[in-house]
Every structure is written in C-alpha cells, then in structure tokens.
A and B are shown apart, each in its own frame.
Chain A
Amino acid sequence: MIANADPMMPRVFRVRRKIRELRDVYTLLLEPPGNGEFSFAAGQFNMLYVFGVGEVPISMSGDPGQTQTLVHTVRSVGAVTRAISALKSGDALGVRGPFGSHWPLEKAAGRDVVIITGGLGLAPLRPAVHQLLAQRARFGKAALLYGARTPRDILYQRELERWRGRLDFQVEVTVDAAPGSWRGNVGVVTTLVPRASFDPATAIAFVCGPEVMMRFSVLELEKCGVSKERIFISMERNMKCAIGFCGHCQFGSAFLCKDGPILACDRVQTWFGKREI
C-alpha cells in the first residue's frame, strides 16, 4: 500500500485504459505510481485532480481485491469531469485518498443483503458487490435491484447480465421508460423491492443513487419492515477538502467526507429531505 503522509498532496497515477460505458460515462483504469498497490474499502472515494483544471470527489468503482489497478467511473458533466473523460492512456491524474466510510459488509455477515441502486449509483456499490460475491458463503440471500432512465442508460450491462446468471444472486433491473421493443421491466426501482427475496426483520440494505430515489427506496424498505439502522445510504454533497476541514460537505451534524459518505439512515433521518440543507 502506498503511504502518503499529507492527505492534501495528490499522487500521480497514470491512465492505463479508458472504457466508454455510456454516451457520457467513462471508466478509467489507473496505474498507481511506481506500479505499487492501492487499497480501499468498498464505498470510499478519492479526490481526482486534473492538473490545471480542478478536483472532484469520485467513488472507487472497482474490485477492492484488485489492488494493482485503481478504477473510477465518471460522468462527463462539468469542467473537471469533462477533462477526466478526455484523458487517454498514459495521461497523468492526481489522486488523493482513500477517504470516507465504507459499506458495512461486516455487519451483514449471516444476514440477507439487499442492494438498491439507480443510474450512476451502481458505480460506488460495485466494489461492495465484488466483495459480497467473493465471500458469498458469509451472507444469506443477496439481491441487487437496479434502475435506469432507459435501456440505453443501463450501466455495466454485461456485468449485470453475468451477475444475473449466478444461482445465488438475485438481480432485477428496471427502467423508467422504454420503447416497445424492450422486454424487461418498466417502472421505478422502488417497485422491485416487494419482489426481492429477503428477510426484512434482519436484512441489511445498501442504497445509492439520486437522493430522491434513495428517499423513496428507504420508505419502501421501511414499509417492508427493514428498520432504519439497517439501511445504509451513500450521501454525496459538495466535498472539497475531503478531510473535514472546510465544512462544505456538512450534512446536519455529519461531515460527509469523514463521517460518510456511507451513513446509516437512523443517523441522517432528521435531515434527509430538508430543503434548507
């Protein structure tokens, strides 16, 4: 593991490969400096720095077990992410991290696991799925419920199909709208919750996606009988320093860069949906 005494100092990684996932979504496979290793816990994020342009927080989206490559999936929406998306093999990218809390798979040992995600929210959860499948026998039933805008917006489609082919992992996919040729589900991701196979009295749930999607998913899980302390969400707000100094990411009494981004619902229920914050 590469040690870095100064969390504000980026290390220079090199782009090994770039994959175009969707029209405006790219996955970068990055090589650690000196061909070293990079370890992280599923759910954590890095600050990615395009020299001369700026820095953004992006969750890791690769397998935590593969420490020789760092993987990030990025949507090209602003100046920095557009610059990241334009990088080519061999280009340099600054990396600070890893930061933040992780998906608590250790709490899920012996229990059923329900993963609800939508859009690009699957990217921060993919490391947790890798970990869960690598240690499958440790957990009860496992289900992944994924929603996308249209069939053309389904992220990691081949991987979803591969996961769906397993006999010990329930994968359900739905889209909000589809043409007549679509043979899959149409409806918001919350409509998949009643179909997921899990024991609501003991299951652990991981939810990641647009905030309003997460709020409705939490409501649906609670309706099924999953209590808030067993529902974990990934909150993303404006993160700048990533080490709890600047206060930009404050969410109620939590600093999302330090206390989050993964938080138990019972901790944030007071502020969830509050317009003022």
Chain B
Amino acid sequence: MSTEEFEAALSESPFFRGMEQRQTHELAMQAAEESFRAGEFIFHEGEDAQKFYIIQAGKVTLEVLVPDRGITVVQTISAGDVLGWSWLFPPHRWHFDSRAVEATRTLSIDADWLRQRIEGDHDFGYEMMKRIARVMVTRLQATRLQVTDVYRT
C-alpha cells in the first residue's frame, strides 16, 4: 500500500476518524500492512508489545491458557476494531495471546515511534489517549457485563 492508501484507510477507520489530516499523514508514514493466516498467532502472552494493530479485515481472538482447563477465548476483535494497548503502558508486554480466527489483514504501527510521538506532541498524544480511553471504557463495560454471567441459572 502507498502512504496515500494508508492515510485513506486510517481516516476511514472508526478509531482514527476525526483526527487532523497531518496527524493521520504522520501515522500513515509509519504504518505497515500485516496479514495473518487462520490459526496464526499475532502475539503471545509475555512477549514485548511492539505494535499497535488496526484490524482491516478478518477476526482475531484474545485468549488465555488456563492450566487444567485449556484455552479460553475472552474476546474476539473484528474489522474496524483495534488490537492491543499494552504497548502504551510499562512494562510494554502483551497480557494475552492473540490469534487470527480467519484470514486477517491489519495495519500495524510501531509502538516505540507511537510512544515517542505521544510524549513529544501533546496534541497528538491527547487525540490518541482520548481514543484509547474510549476503547478501554467500552471493553471494560462489556467485560463487567460478561463477568455478571447474566445467563447463569
């Protein structure tokens, strides 16, 4: 993909919608396209969290291995959603495994560059943190409803 194509994809994504054009242009300069086959891991629990992913197509899981119980999928993330915020907070390590459920295309942005940019340009940093906070709130509320186990009899 060209930088212009990356910029168009980022501008259209729900996460980056409304960001200033110069900011999405900067992000587009850093973006890379990554594809994963069905069943392929994107990252493993405990690994360094080096990238921020935007899911373009497909579906990925967040899952955890529970001894004596096996793999438990805690969430699936689909096209239009973002994957991962562990890159933002120390120790910058992934907390879960993530695996492609089906063939998946992503845009990825280097986490080192993002962290430096967020610290160096507070306007950019605010726009990123605002969006990440919204994702966190949405997922936290959904998780709280999940642990309520509403269908239990």
Knowing A187-B146, A188-B146 touch, does A176 contact B78 (C-beta < 8 A)?
no
| Bound CA–CA A210/B149 (angstroms) | 10
Which B-chain residue is minimally distant from A147 (CB atoms)? B151
Which residues in A have their C-beta under 8 angstroms from that of B1?
A: none
**CB of B29 within 8 Å of the partner chain:** no
Q: How far is the CA of A212 from the CA of B145 in the complex (A)?
A: 8
Answer whether residue B45 sits at the interface, using C-beta atoms and an 8 A cutoff: no
Closest A residue to B69 using CB positions: A179
Whether, in the assembled complex, A30 has its beta carbon less than 8 Å from a beta carbon of chain B, the answer is no
Is the C-beta of A153 less than 8 angstroms from some C-beta in chain B?
Answer: yes
User: Count of A-B contacts with CB under 8 A?
Assistant: 67
Docked-complex contact B76 and A180, CB < 8 angstroms: no
Contact B76 A185 (CB under 8 A): yes
Per the 8 Å Cβ criterion, residues 209-246 of A in contact with B are 209-210, 212-213, 216
Interface digits, A191-222 against B, CB 8 Å rule (1 contact, 0 not)? 10001000000000000011011001000000
Residue of B nearest to A185 (CB): B76
How far in angstroms is the closest Cβ of chain A from B36? 15
Knowing A183-B101, A186-B61, say if A210 contacts B150 (CB, 8 Å).
yes
Task: Indicate whether A77 reaches chain B with its CB closer than 8 angstroms.
Answer: yes
Contact present for B148 and A212 (CB under 8 Å): yes
In contact, B153 and A77 (Cβ under 8 angstroms):
yes
Partner of A177, one of B59, B72, B102, B145: B72
Whether the Cβ atoms of A176 and B70 lie closer than 8 Å is no
Nearest CB in chain B to that of A178: its residue: B73
Within the complex, which residue of A148, A180, A191, A210 is in contact with B72, where a contact is CB–CB below 8 Å? A180
CB distance from A214 to the nearest CB of B (A): 9
Contact indicator per residue, chain A 137-172, by CB within 8 Å of chain B (1) or not (0): 000000000011100010000000000000000000
The number of residues on chain A lying at the interface, defined by a beta carbon within 8 Å of a beta carbon of chain B, is 30
Tell me whether B151 and A153 are in contact (CB under 8 A).
Answer: yes
Shortest Cβ distance from residue B79 to the other chain A in the assembled complex, whole angstroms: 9
- B102 contact set on A, CB distance < 8 A: 183
Contact indicator A179/B71 (Cβ below 8 Å): yes
- B70:A179 contact, CB within 8 angstroms: yes
Find chain B residues with CB under 8 A from A187 CB.
75-76, 142, 146
Complex contacts, B75 vs chain A, CB 8 Å: 186-187
Which A residues touch B152, using CB under 8 A? Answer: 149
**A149 contacts B73, C-beta separation under 8 Å:** no
Contact with A along B131-153 (1 / 0, CB 8 A): 00000000001100110111111
Q: Does residue B63 face the partner (Cβ distance < 8 Å to A)? A: yes
Cβ-defined partner of A180 (8 Å) among B71, B146, B153: B71
B residues within 8 A CB of A184? 76
A190 contacts B by Cβ under 8 Å: yes
**Distance from A121 Cβ to chain B, minimum over Cβ atoms (Å):** 9
Contact A118 B150 (CB under 8 A): yes
Q: List 17 A-B contacts (CB under 8 A).
A: A119-B151, A149-B152, A177-B72, A177-B146, A178-B72, A180-B72, A184-B76, A185-B59, A185-B76, A185-B78, A186-B61, A186-B73, A186-B74, A187-B142, A187-B146, A209-B150, A212-B148
Q: Which 8 pairs between the two chains have the least Cβ-Cβ distance?
A: A180-B71, A119-B151, A149-B151, A210-B150, A186-B73, A178-B73, A188-B145, A186-B76
Can you name 6 extra interface pairs (CB under 8 A) apart from A149-B151, A216-B145? A174-B76, A180-B72, A186-B74, A186-B76, A209-B150, A216-B141
**Could you list which residues of chain B lie within 8 angstroms of chain A, going by C-beta atoms?**
59, 61, 63, 70-76, 78, 101-102, 141-142, 145-146, 148-153
